[in-house]
């Protein structure tokens, strides 16, 4: 067992036992009890998250030829200069959390509202950051006017016009674009695993190829990404999803579709991470993606702690372990070029609204706490960067700094 995998299984299982009381369950088998006891001992010894010389995360990443960044909303910039300063200090990449989604960008069929995303691009450029685009084709964040204005006859023209106008507006300025977001959904029961999204209903499965071809023709100087969630765990459901995604990527690439990278969202759930993260399965998946000639970005990483125990130090230690263990495995793969967290500070996280804690305590899923102080999660990320193998940034002319 590699040292890293040992730590993963030790830290994780011990943490799980601590909050589920699994060791006391009469039905728990002998080997499980033994594992839990061994791991509990290790946990008691306390894992270290030390760092020799604390630097901003972007610097730890850059030393290894990686990029680190986070999602942000435009309104935080104006109302929270302290947060904006932390963001500029820690991040090389910035991704608008909602400003480039249709609902914000398209008040009507005829209008484009670029002002919020333009403000974020200006902030990025003033602070030596690069901006990513998120996202051109998604089944969510669809404007209300779609219900009356869009149909299978005009959808292609509307989609192509949207991609040309939006990518044209930012041509040559963005690091990368999530062209198609979350195209796989096995519960829709299609043989190809595709999500039965509005775009698929209007245009058929070829909407994905259409979107990438239009994107490549509009801005040949940006990295085109297919972004997906639910790829991280060794469960029957997620194993099938990874297979369906690989099949889709193979098919698209065999037709010459200009996809450059896979975006792995990596919204981790602490309780699932400790039970279902399998380093070998993850390595094999990343190798399969890299073998297709694709780069890989971790695009929306966070660790949902709503099901963890209330006790703060224990909770923070588990979250930090999950960050470090996940990234350590992922960053072994040289095709991984960037890591973005979905937010930087617990002050602003979608999880507070979407997955709050039953005990009403604030959630703590991100590298900085709500007071903008670095947490153990920050150490976990920094350590994974500093132990990662180096990679070359010179892989493509797209990645100018």
Look up residue 131 and give its DSSP letter: E
**228 catalytic, yes or no?**
no
**Count, residues near ligand G3I per rule CB under 6 A:** 9
* 140/287 with CB nearer ligand G3I: 140
User: Nearest approach, Cβ of 207 to ligand G3I (angstroms)?
Assistant: 18
Residues 106/113, Cβ–Cβ less than 8 Å: yes
- Listing DSSP states for 3-53 in one string gives HHHHHHHHHHHHHHHHHH-GGG-TTS-HHHHHHHHHHHHHHHT------SS
Within 72-171, where are the H helices?
74-79, 81-90, 102-105, 115-126, 146-149, 155-169
* 332/346 with CB nearer ligand G3I: 346
Task: Exactly one of 90, 300, 324, 332 is catalytic; name it.
Answer: 300
Please identify which residue in the block is written with the tokens 């073998």: 291
Give the tokens for residue 182.
């979350």
Give the tokens for residue 246.
């690989």
Site string for ligand G3I, 290-319 (x = CB under 6 A): ----------x-------------------
Give the tokens for residue 223.
């990295």
User: Nearest approach, Cβ of 26 to ligand G3I (angstroms)?
Assistant: 39
- Which region among 93-101, 253-261, 280-288, 389-397 touches ligand G3I (by CB under 6 A)? 93-101
Using the rule CB under 6 A, which residue among 348, 350, 378, 385 binds ligand G3I? 350
User: Nearest approach, Cβ of 375 to ligand G3I (angstroms)?
Assistant: 20
Site string for ligand G3I, 28-67 (x = CB under 6 A): ----------------------------------------
For residues 318, 132, 158 and 202, what is the CA-based torsion angle, rounded to 10 degrees?
-30
Task: Exactly one of 97, 99, 182, 332 is catalytic; name it.
Answer: 182
> Residue number with the shortest CB distance to ligand G3I?
350
Give the tokens for residue 28.
């728990």
Give the tokens for residue 12.
């994780």
277 φψ region: left (φ > 0), alpha (ψ -120 to 50), beta (else): beta
Task: Give Cβ neighbours of residue 139 (< 8 Å, ≥ 6 apart).
Answer: 182, 195, 197, 198, 199
Give the tokens for residue 67.
């990029």
- Verify binding: residue 101, ligand G3I, rule CB under 6 A: yes
Contacts of ligand G3I in 137-156 (CB under 6 A): 140-141
Give the tokens for residue 397.
């002319």
Residues 262/252, Cβ–Cβ less than 8 Å: no
What is the Cα Rg of the chain in Å?
21
* 18/131 with CB nearer ligand G3I: 131
Question: How many Å apart are CA 13 and CA 39, to the nearest integer?
Answer: 6
* 14/163 with CB nearer ligand G3I: 163
For residues 100, 218, 182 and 390, what is the CA-based torsion angle, rounded to 10 degrees?
-90
Contacts of ligand G3I in 188-217 (CB under 6 A): none
- Which region among 31-39, 94-102, 202-210, 247-255 touches ligand G3I (by CB under 6 A)? 94-102
**182 catalytic, yes or no?**
yes
User: Nearest approach, Cβ of 126 to ligand G3I (angstroms)?
Assistant: 23
- Which region among 96-104, 109-117, 356-364, 369-377 touches ligand G3I (by CB under 6 A)? 96-104
Within 292-335, where are the H helices?
312-330
Using the rule CB under 6 A, which residue among 4, 33, 55, 98 binds ligand G3I? 98
User: Nearest approach, Cβ of 70 to ligand G3I (angstroms)?
Assistant: 12
* 219/302 with CB nearer ligand G3I: 302
- Verify binding: residue 219, ligand G3I, rule CB under 6 A: no
User: Nearest approach, Cβ of 139 to ligand G3I (angstroms)?
Assistant: 10
User: Nearest approach, Cβ of 134 to ligand G3I (angstroms)?
Assistant: 6
**Around Cβ 158, how many Cβ atoms within 10 Å?**
16
Residues 285/231, Cβ–Cβ less than 8 Å: yes
Which helix (H) or strand (E) element contains residue 269?
strand 267-269
User: Nearest approach, Cβ of 272 to ligand G3I (angstroms)?
Assistant: 16
- Verify binding: residue 265, ligand G3I, rule CB under 6 A: yes
Question: Which parts of this chain interact with ligand G3I (CB under 6 A)?
Answer: 97-98, 101, 140-141, 229, 265, 300, 350
Instruction: Kindly list the catalytic residues.
Output: 182, 300
């Amino acid at each position: 067992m590699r040292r890293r995998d040992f730590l993963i299984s030790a830290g994780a299982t011990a943490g799980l036992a601590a909050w589920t009381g699994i060791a006391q369950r009469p039905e728990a088998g002998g080997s499980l009890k033994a594992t839990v006891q061994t791991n509990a001992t290790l946990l008691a010894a306390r894992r270290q998250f030390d760092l020799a010389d604390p630097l901003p995360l972007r610097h730890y990443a850059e030393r290894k030829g990686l990029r680190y960044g986070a999602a942000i909303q435009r309104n935080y910039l104006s109302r929270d200069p302290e947060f904006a300063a932390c963001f500029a200090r820690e991040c090389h990449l910035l991704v608008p959390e909602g400003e480039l989604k249709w609902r914000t960008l398209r008040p009507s069929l005829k209008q484009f509202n670029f002002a919020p995303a333009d403000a974020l691009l200006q902030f990025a450029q003033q602070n030596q950051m690069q901006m990513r685009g998120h996202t051109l084709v998604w089944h969510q964040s669809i404007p209300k006017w779609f219900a009356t204005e869009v149909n299978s006859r005009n959808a292609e023209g509307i989609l192509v016009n949207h991609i040309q106008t939006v990518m044209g507006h930012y041509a040559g300025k963005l690091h990368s674009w999530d062209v198609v977001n979350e195209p796989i959904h096995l519960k829709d029961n299609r043989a190809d695993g595709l999500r039965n999204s509005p775009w698929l209903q209007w245009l058929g499965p070829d909407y994905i190829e259409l979107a990438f071809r239009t994107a490549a023709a509009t801005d040949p100087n940006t990295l085109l990404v297919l972004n997906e969630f639910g790829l991280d765990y060794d469960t029957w459901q997620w194993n099938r999803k990874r297979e369906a995604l690989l099949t889709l990527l193979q098919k698209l690439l065999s037709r010459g579709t200009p996809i450059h990278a896979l975006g792995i969202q990596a919204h981790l759930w602490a309780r699932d991470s400790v039970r279902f993260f399998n380093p070998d399965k993850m390595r094999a998946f990343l190798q399969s993606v890299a073998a297709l000639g694709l780069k890989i970005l971790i695009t929306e990483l966070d660790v949902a702690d709503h099901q963890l125990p209330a006790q703060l130090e224990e909770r923070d230690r588990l979250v930090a372990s999950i960050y470090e263990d996940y990234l350590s495995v992922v960053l072994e793969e040289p095709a991984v070029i960037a890591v973005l967290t979905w937010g930087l500070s617990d002050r602003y996280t979608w999880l507070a609204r979407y997955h709050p804690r039953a005990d009403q305590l604030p959630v703590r899923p991100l590298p900085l706490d709500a007071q903008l102080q670095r947490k153990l999660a920050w150490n976990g990320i920094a350590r994974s960067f500093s132990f990662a193998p180096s990679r070359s940034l010179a892989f493509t002319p797209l990645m100018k700094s």
